Structure 1
Amino acid sequence: MTASHVRWFMNDRFGMFVHWGLYAIPARGEWVRSLEKMSVAEYQPFFEEFNPVKYDAKKWARTAKEAGMKYAVMTAKHHDGFCLFDSKLTDYKATNTPAGRDLIREYIEAFREEGLRVGLYYSIIDWHHQDYPHFGDKIHPMRDNESYRDHRGEFERYLTYMHGQVKELLTNYGTIDVMWFDFSYDDMIGEKWKSSELVRMMRSIQPDIVIDNRLGGNMKASEPEIYAGDFMSPEQLLPPEGVVNEAGEPLSWESCITLNDHWGYCASDTNYKSPQTVIRGLVECVSKGGNLLLNVGPNAKGEIPRQSVDILNEVGKWMDANGASVYGCGPCKLAKPEWGRYTQRGNLIYAHIYDRGMGPINFRGLQGKIKRARLLADGSEIKVETPWNAWEYPEDAFISFSSASLPDEINTVVELELSEEI
Structure 2
Amino acid sequence: MNETRYTGTWESVKQHTVPAWYEDCKFGIFIHWGIYSVPAFAPRTWELGEVDSDEQWFCNNPYAEWYYNSVNVGRGPTYEHHMNTYGREFRYEDFIPMWKAENWNPGEWAELFQKAGAQYVVLTTKHHDGFCLYPSEHTKFHAGRMGPCRDITGDLTEAVRGAGLKMGLYYSGLIDWQFANDPIFVEGENFSNACPTFEYADYSYKQMKELVDKYRPSVLWNDIGWPKQSEHAMPYLLAHYYNTVEDGVVNDRFNGLYHDFLTKEYQYGKADRTQKWEMCRGMGLSFGYNENEGDDQLISLPKLIRLLVATVADNGNLLLNIGPKADGTIPTEQVKRLLTLGRWLQVNGKGIYGTRCSKRLSEHRADGTQVYYTRKGRDLYFYIDGLKEGCNVVSLPGLHRTVTALNPALEVEQDVSENGLRLTVKNYRSDLYLLGFEAAGQE
**Within 2, Cα distance between the matches of 1:190 and 1:84?**
25
User: Aligned partner of 1:7: which letter?
Assistant: A
Aligned-residue offset at 1:189:
5.6
> Unaligned stretches of 5+ in structure 1?
144-150, 218-224, 245-249, 387-392
- Written as runs of structure 1 = structure 2, the 5 A alignment for 1:16-415 is 16-28=29-41, 29-37=64-72, 42-130=91-179, 133-135=180-182, 155-173=197-215, 175-184=216-225, 192=231, 194-217=233-256, 225=257, 228-237=258-267, 242-243=271-272, 250-270=274-294, 271-337=297-363, 338=365, 339-340=369-370, 341-356=372-387, 360-367=393-400, 370=401, 372-378=402-408, 382-386=412-416, 394-403=418-427, 405=428, 409-415=432-438
Q: Secondary structure at the match of 1:360?
A: strand
| 8 Å Cα contact 1:190/1:216 also seen in 2 | no
| 8 Å Cα contact 2:351/2:381 also seen in 1 | yes
User: Aligned partner of 2:272: which letter?
Assistant: V
Aligned-residue offset at 1:200:
3.2
Q: Secondary structure at the match of 2:171?
A: strand
| 8 Å Cα contact 1:40/1:128 also seen in 2 | no
CA spacing shift, 1:4–1:382, aligned 2, 3 Å: farther
CA spacing shift, 1:299–1:325, aligned 2, 3 Å: same
CA spacing shift, 1:90–1:417, aligned 2, 3 Å: same
CA spacing shift, 1:18–1:234, aligned 2, 3 Å: same
Q: Secondary structure at the match of 1:53?
A: coil
User: Aligned partner of 2:66: which letter?
Assistant: W
| 8 Å Cα contact 1:34/1:139 also seen in 2 | no
| 8 Å Cα contact 1:184/1:190 also seen in 2 | no
Aligned-residue offset at 1:172:
1.4
User: Aligned partner of 2:217: which letter?
Assistant: I
| 8 Å Cα contact 1:351/1:415 also seen in 2 | yes
CA spacing shift, 1:236–1:153, aligned 2, 3 Å: closer
Query: CA RMSD of the aligned region, Å?
Result: 3.0
CA spacing shift, 1:322–1:127, aligned 2, 3 Å: same
**Within 2, Cα distance between the matches of 1:190 and 1:96?**
30
Listed one character per residue, the Cα deviations across residues 363-394 of structure 1 (whole Å, up to 9, x for unaligned) are 11122xx2x422202287855324xxxxxx72
Q: Secondary structure at the match of 1:327?
A: coil
**Within 1, Cα distance between the matches of 2:162 and 2:243?**
26
CA spacing shift, 1:296–1:193, aligned 2, 3 Å: farther
Aligned-residue offset at 1:152:
12
Aligned-residue offset at 1:359:
6.3
Q: Secondary structure at the match of 1:92?
A: coil
**Within 1, Cα distance between the matches of 2:281 and 2:195?**
34
Could you tell me the percent identity over the aligned residues?
A: 28
CA spacing shift, 1:176–1:208, aligned 2, 3 Å: same
Aligned-residue offset at 1:416:
1.6
> Unaligned stretches of 5+ in structure 2?
1-14, 42-63, 74-87
Q: Secondary structure at the match of 1:402?
A: strand
**Within 1, Cα distance between the matches of 2:68 and 2:147?**
21
**Within 1, Cα distance between the matches of 2:32 and 2:440?**
40
CA spacing shift, 1:406–1:352, aligned 2, 3 Å: farther
Q: Give the total of aligned pairs.
A: 381
Aligned-residue offset at 1:308:
0.1
| 8 Å Cα contact 2:72/2:183 also seen in 1 | no
CA spacing shift, 1:310–1:382, aligned 2, 3 Å: same
Listed one character per residue, the Cα deviations across residues 137-194 of structure 1 (whole Å, up to 9, x for unaligned) are 6679x99xxxxxxx99871111111111111111112x31001000129xx6696584
